[in-house]
């Protein structure tokens, strides 16, 4: 696993898993709360954070624990850093910069 370098969310882990499947995404988790979602950053919009549950598997699509101002700020950061996230994803998955 490699840490996302172009952005952070204090108290959370943002990771790429080398060799992971498409579409481009990173994993967002808070281990002590035992949840994890895949953030499909190319599909995020100003009003929508495109996620899919990884753990727990019983969650529905786009259900995630980020709420309120944290969610709004994080969503804006994802959109602002989309090109950098894609470059990092490519580097982690296919060796491109």
pLDDT tens digits, residue range 31-87? 787 888 999 999 999 999 998 888 877 776 666 678 889 999 999 999 999 999 999
Domain count, the chain: 1
Cβ neighbours, 10 Å, residue 26: 24
Q: Does the pLDDT at position 93 exceed 90?
A: no
Residue 16 CA to residue 22 CA, distance in Å, equals 12
The CA distances from residue 70 to 36, 50, 95, in Å, are: 16, 15, 32
Domain with 7, as residue range(s), is 2-94
Whole-model pTM: value is 0.87
Within 1-97, residue ranges assigned H as helices are 68-80, 82-94
């Amino acid at each position: 696993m490699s840490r996302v370098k172009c952005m952070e969310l204090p108290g959370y882990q943002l990771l790429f898993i080398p060799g992971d499947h498409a579409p481009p995404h990173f994993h967002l988790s808070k281990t002590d709360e035992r949840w994890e979602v895949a953030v499909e950053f190319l599909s995020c919009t100003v009003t929508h954070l495109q996620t899919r549950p990884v753990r727990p598997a019983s969650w529905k699509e786009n259900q995630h624990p980020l709420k309120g101002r944290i969610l709004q700020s994080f969503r804006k950061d994802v959109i602002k850093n989309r090109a950098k996230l894609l470059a990092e994803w490519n580097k982690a998955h296919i060796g491109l910069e």
